[in-house]
Structure 1
């Protein structure tokens, strides 16, 4: 099976007769962590749907009890393994971080509302993926985590802007500088979520209700309303991606990150 075929199996993307487009991440063996192939599959689907007039709403979901635990560290470690020094060179580092930036950019480029359906952990680029959506619904057992600092990195995928603009400077600093979890209940209270529900069944019912409302609304009105809101709230998004790209490219080559990767590789083989 090719890398592309495997990615298609692990990321399902389809559009129904109502114009409801859905992405389901199904890499349960990695808690829905995203490798390069899965990331490209998501971006390809979002790019195609952005050009289609019949798509009215997009849903991004993770199955099996996780939304996404972020970038697949095994994938990064394998990339680093191609370097004789055991780390990432500048080109490799920029390629790794570019994937997260382009993923967040692909979400924001969708002209109709994007819903993130979060059940379980949303970590790293998984948290960025959820927060890049227009509407975010989560179960009570979910949490959001920017754990980059713990392995010598910084938030990416636009998270440095998306978190701060949603929950404020103090709490964003706690998440990004201390690498602390933000439980769903606190995320809802802080304004990061559109809705908080008890469990997966309630999440599906809530998202279906929202889909029904959006699917019955003027698509032109949705597109123009989203564009107007983005113009006011997302003005610094591209600048944030540029800052993250430069900073993360440097950090991915650092001794601290290389040591973290070496420790991970050692634990994975022991």
Structure 2
């Protein structure tokens, strides 16, 4: 894997660090593949007891790399992005997220599959799928209303409203919001170390019990969303919205 994804295995914790600062950690097919491979490999590795997903101290991820998505759109459930989404959906090892700065699109929806989420108070979470002529992904159209209720989920998904890390904790989308100067990455690491020190069979079973009533339906919805997303991505509204984004202009929808 290139240096756009840093992989560290130490103290029974797998730490996956997004490392494309020049693009605010925009996610490419290569990064998705690396994430999926690492998370899937961890399932059969008894030396790994917890997984941390993080960006830098200033940015989690700006979401999908738009050029990458337009040039080679995801095709089917075997594409890198869907392999990653299935990996976090089915992970038996605890997933811990550390979020600083922007967490756009999949940068927020992937958090719905994490077990513990640490955010900076001034982190910026946003799911602008409708704004871009697309639809929700990662099972978020099922998981978000289940977690927050329909009105709040509709506000975030239909309007694409941005919320702060502090607000994310208030509505139940994250566990802890850390003030400026408090290292979010360190907080996530400490939580992962605590989990790694717990009896591994009990941790896995408890996570399985927590997710057993939602996992199958989340997977079904994720597949439905993926099919719609792929269709919309080829449509005129998404093409116009994404082109306008790249050209830094206001989109015009016919």
Which runs of 5 or more structure 1 residues have no equivalent in the other structure?
1-6, 80-91
Separation in 2 of the partners of 1:166 and 1:24? 27
Separation in 2 of the partners of 1:190 and 1:267? 32
Runs of 4+ in 1 over 6 A off after TM superposition: none
The aligned counterpart of 2:87 is: 106
Separation in 2 of the partners of 1:96 and 1:109? 15
Q: Which has the higher mean CA deviation after the structures are superposed, 96-105 or 50-59? A: 96-105
* Residue 119 (1) aligns with residue 100 (2): yes
Separation in 2 of the partners of 1:240 and 1:108? 12
Q: Give the TM-score of the pair, scaled to structure 1.
A: 0.85
Alignment of 1:233-248 (within 5 A): 233-248=214-229
Which runs of 5 or more structure 2 residues have no equivalent in the other structure?
250-254
The aligned counterpart of 2:141 is: 160
C-alpha distance 100-156 of structure 1, shift in aligned 2 (>3 A):
farther
Q: CA deviation at 1:174?
A: 0.4
Count of aligned pairs between the two proteins: 249
1:170-223 Cα shifts (integer Å, max 9, x gaps): 111001101111221121111111111113633234223312321211000000
C-alpha distance 214-146 of structure 1, shift in aligned 2 (>3 A):
same
1:88-137 Cα shifts (integer Å, max 9, x gaps): xxxx4535994433212111222121101111111111112222211111
User: Given that residues 29 and 81 in structure 2 are in contact (C-alpha distance below 8 angstroms), is that contact kept between their aligned partners in structure 1?
Assistant: no
Q: Which has the higher mean CA deviation after the structures are superposed, 93-102 or 231-240? A: 93-102
The aligned counterpart of 1:175 is: 156
* Residue 39 (1) aligns with residue 32 (2): yes
Separation in 2 of the partners of 1:265 and 1:181? 20
9, 17, 21: which one pairs with 1:15?
Answer: 9
Taking only aligned residues, the RMSD between alpha carbons, in angstroms, comes to 2.0
* Larger fraction in helix: 1
Instruction: Give the secondary-structure state (helix, strand or coil) at the position aligned to 2:228.
Output: helix
Alignment of 1:251-270 (within 5 A): 251-267=232-248
User: Given that residues 76 and 227 in structure 2 are in contact (C-alpha distance below 8 angstroms), is that contact kept between their aligned partners in structure 1?
Assistant: no
